[in-house]
Chain A
């Protein structure tokens, strides 16, 4: 089900129902970007809520549904970067409860491989992590990622290549160890 531009206008005019529909439509995208970046369900929910709160305040500036999707991806990405910077100062680990939820969330493909991959993605540097998330979760090409993150396209391409090479290397190293 696609969201119409009218729904955005309706929400901007003050319709709570229209705003709830917008949140419902985009919640998985916003939450997942934060979740794959942070690997922590409660932090990801917190960030997603903050993003939608910010959207509520900025609704009058949103013109179309494409603009809305772009705005949400961009705001979530920047929130994640801010969060990571903040966490670097107050280092905290993932709780056991969260770790269990992370495991339970993966159901398709090889669950062990998926979990390993997500943990490897989570170990990437901040911008590489976000680029990989936007590339593979949101299926964005490097030029779209560049717009979302305010980076030159070539920087995105090189960081993506570097991240993929690193992931492949780490994955094969782990497989060798486990064998």
Chain B
């Protein structure tokens, strides 16, 4: 260690703030209001691992609800498709009957 290093270490040693410092910090926190304290307690109650689990559970719930919504939408589309198919079949059947009637008339003449 050089001489300047030693001098700097001595000159920049740690020193204490005023004797009232801790009390002043606590007073400042108190003057910040109960809101901060409540937030603080909430934050304390939820440890990091709990927050992680809660986030994972929330994400899983979100995914499940999205899947349910998507499944419902697919079912609706399928129902609509089946209805359209039935209507189409009915229309074809009607057309077929009509065609047969026309064919019979034409052949009878």
Which one of B9-17, B54-62, B64-72, B82-90 contacts A? B9-17
Question: Is B95 interfacial (CB 8 A cutoff)?
Answer: no
CA separation between A152 and B10, bound complex, in Å?
27
Per the 8 Å Cβ criterion, residues 13-45 of A in contact with B are: 13-14, 16, 19-20, 23-24, 27-29, 31-32, 35-36, 41, 44-45
CA separation between A109 and B22, bound complex, in Å?
29
CB distance from B72 to the nearest CB of A (A): 39
CB distance from A144 to the nearest CB of B (A): 16
Question: Is B47 interfacial (CB 8 A cutoff)?
Answer: yes
Which one of A54-62, A70-78, A85-93 contacts B? A54-62
Are A57 and B17 closer than 8 Å at their CB atoms?
no
Are B32 and A53 closer than 8 Å at their CB atoms?
yes
Main secondary structure on chain B at its contact with chain A? Answer: helix
Are B28 and A49 closer than 8 Å at their CB atoms?
yes
CA separation between A27 and B14, bound complex, in Å?
10
Given A114-B7, A121-B12; A14-B22 close (CB under 8 Å): no
- Which A residue sits closest to B20, measured CB to CB? A45
CB distance from B27 to the nearest CB of A (A): 9
CB distance from A102 to the nearest CB of B (A): 10
What residues on A are CB-neighbors of B5 within 8 Å?
A: 136, 164
Are B14 and A28 closer than 8 Å at their CB atoms?
yes
Are B16 and A31 closer than 8 Å at their CB atoms?
yes
Contact with B along A106-123 (1 / 0, CB 8 A): 101100011101100100
Question: Is A148 interfacial (CB 8 A cutoff)?
Answer: no
CB distance from A128 to the nearest CB of B (A): 13
17 interchain pairs (CB within 8 A)?
Answer: A11-B44, A13-B44, A28-B15, A48-B17, A49-B25, A53-B28, A53-B32, A56-B40, A57-B43, A60-B44, A105-B15, A108-B10, A117-B11, A136-B11, A137-B12, A137-B14, A139-B9
Give me the interface of B with A, judged by CB distance under 8 Å.
4-5, 7-18, 21-22, 24-26, 28-29, 32, 36-37, 39-41, 43-48
- Other than A45-B17, A132-B8, A136-B8, give 5 A-B pairs with Cβ distance below 8 A: A27-B21, A27-B22, A53-B32, A60-B47, A108-B13
Give me the interface of A with B, judged by CB distance under 8 Å.
11-14, 16, 19-20, 23-24, 27-29, 31-32, 35-36, 41, 44-45, 48-49, 52-53, 56-57, 59-61, 63, 105-106, 108-109, 113-115, 117-118, 121, 132-133, 135-137, 139, 164, 167-168, 171
